[in-house]
Amino acid sequence: EPEVTQTPSHQVTQMGQEVILRCVPISNHLYFYWYRQILGQKVEFLVSFYNNEISEKSEIFDDQFSVERPDGSNFTLKIRSTKLEDSAMYFCASRVTGDQPQHFGDGTRLSIL
Amino acid sequence: GESVGLHLPTLSVQEGDNSIINCAYSNSASDYFIWYKQESGKGPQFIIDIRSNMDKRQGQRVTVLLNKTVKHLSLQIAATQPGDSAVYFCAENMRNDMRFGAGTRLTVKP
């Protein structure tokens, strides 16, 4: 069964550094998402992306965050200047249409030192 | 604000028993709900979904019930197995994203 893949599985970065999290959504999916999950808490929406532009973003997704689909397969989340509170699991998700279930990758654990 | 929430944070059941996990939502206009299972170190995994034109939907060993009158949905797992131990989230589909509840941790005792 096709799946969403995310790399790396664990990223350790110094505070203030830039980090790029990578995702390969399921190939025929058109809607792409990033979520964040701080340890022990619920999954929080960051941003949705469709037709090469952001559809919606949450309050968490401030100017330090950006997303990009640089080619036909990858979907990336960039954090420009990381802060300690950015430490979390970051999940990528995709779906075929806006009214179907989202399929999630296994996440990237981001640790900011 | 409007949100999706869980009644209980933890649930412990005996292997072979049935499990019921509950979820309340507050947006009466919501028309699509999804249950996800999250195992340790993994992403949320789709279990079953239901649309607002239905009251009940069954899958393999799982049933979702939707009560629109009281804005409540539940996930029933029949003959719970050790492999069912995980955190279960209900999610409310919004126009451009999903809103997750806090999750219920299900522990299955042998």
Mean pLDDT to the nearest integer, B104-109: 94
**Shortest CA distance from A9: residue in chain B:** B41
Which residues of B fall within a CB distance of 8 Å from A98? Answer: 95-96
Is B2's pLDDT higher than 50?
Answer: no
Is A96's pLDDT higher than 80?
Answer: yes
Tokens of B15: 């292997």
Distance from the Cα of residue B103 to its chain's centroid: 8
First to last CA, chain A: 37
Q: Report the share of chain A in percent with pLDDT over 90.
A: 87
Of the partner residues B36, B96, B100, the one whose CB lies closest to the CB of residue A55: B96
pLDDT at B94: 79
CB contact under 8 A, A56 and B97: yes
Of the partner residues B34, B42, B97, the one whose CB lies closest to the CB of residue A101: B34
What's the Rg (C-alpha) of chain B?
13
CB contact under 8 A, A43 and B41: no
Which residues of A fall within a CB distance of 8 Å from B48? Answer: none
CB contact under 8 A, A45 and B101: no
User: C-alpha angle A6/A7/A8, rounded to 5°?
Assistant: 140
| A8-36 pLDDT, tens digit each | 999 999 999 999 999 999 999 999 999 99
Q: Report the share of chain B in percent with pLDDT over 90.
A: 71
Of the partner residues A43, A55, A58, the one whose CB lies closest to the CB of residue B89: A43
| B31-76 pLDDT, tens digit each | 999 999 999 889 999 999 999 999 999 999 999 999 999 999 999 9
- What Cα–Cα distance (Å) separates residue A27 from each residue in A4, A76, A98, B64? 9, 15, 16, 29
Hey, CA dihedral for A25, A30, A36, A40, is it positive or negative?
negative
Between CA A36 and CA A99 the distance in angstroms is 21
- How far away is chain B from the Cα of A4, in angstroms, using its nearest Cα? 10
Residue type, A93: A
Q: Which residues lie across from B21 on neighbouring strands? A: B75
